[in-house]
Chains A and B, each alone.
Chain A
């Protein structure tokens, strides 16, 4: 049976892993390579490394860091931040990433998804999205609107419609990072996660709000997610990957042990 994936997310600013709530009050948590290696040894299933200030600083992804992470782990990892073209994707993949994640820049220029999928295959192209709940059902029938630039800007795009369009263009996986839940540790936003998981044929990753194993279980069962991103509770030592997996296994969720 295919197991549910647990994916630690490393938000990197100037070469250091940081964690904030809604991109604010960032705290230095350490070296991305050491942290990636530790989670790998702990049995995480995959990693995501976001160079979170690359886009804002209008620079490419920190490829030297990507290459060091690639040498440190023998599992797949995705790289996001600063990916705006097929050439950027090619460099990140050549540095050893398995997937590239596009977010704001794909909203600006959706064709980058199609170009990436043609060049490297859909399995390499992840669409990251940051939906926020909205009352404007006329514009966003799902009740969720896509934001960009670290939640700062609303786009008027309906989250489910954007997910469908991205998959048509060739996205092979969608990370649904809820703006409302991010950093709260109160659980994933299950409504939008499930709406997207049911709307697209590709795997969906729940992101934002992980506080305990129960939240992951809910994302997998109620949210229909194929994988879940975990950050703060691992970084600050509230729990560990083996502990999360043991609890999930006890709740009947298939996990890789």
Chain B
């Protein structure tokens, strides 16, 4: 109970905190995104519902829960990735600042320049060089000026801790990078557009432990620059990287719902809901 904080990135160690520390929440920054009663269904079948919480600037918000609880579905609703699916229907309100994300007047492509995404498996464009990959988002959004492209690429690659290894081979194909490096390239690609929010869908699940560790460190460094919402099925990872967590669980009707939302430290040590307690204690995965 009076132990010092031992907060490591080794997977199995349990965090022990001092009693007083538990009660200190992360300071409440500005709200960047709000979700109210968000629900997603596919052809009438509900996938996730009743989700409401706020995403605050400069923080890492994690969506956690067992598989099938709708975490990824919810994440993808935040940048309107479900637009491409004909049978998908999203209800509730998602706001980015004062923009209603799902308003008919809101343009989805413009939205995605403000809310970026990194996927589970690294997906750099194979026909493009490292540089072209990094600036791909900028070019899609109509940026032409070479100076701006170069500046943004360098800043993004530095931010993704990739600059030093690639600065001399920017013209090389993206496929010459290792898996972990490719994922960091994808992060750089998303960062280059300077989004306000970065969505990450289990970004380390396809990577080896060393690469995973690097990216977790990166997430910690990046959160000041861009607000991060990360989906992870790895509880320890959530504990390591996130400031706040949203715990989702599949209900009886096979739809995911938000069980509890709050500061990570509190959620993992004194959660309000018994189901959260069960999950963080590993009673079900």
A binds B: no
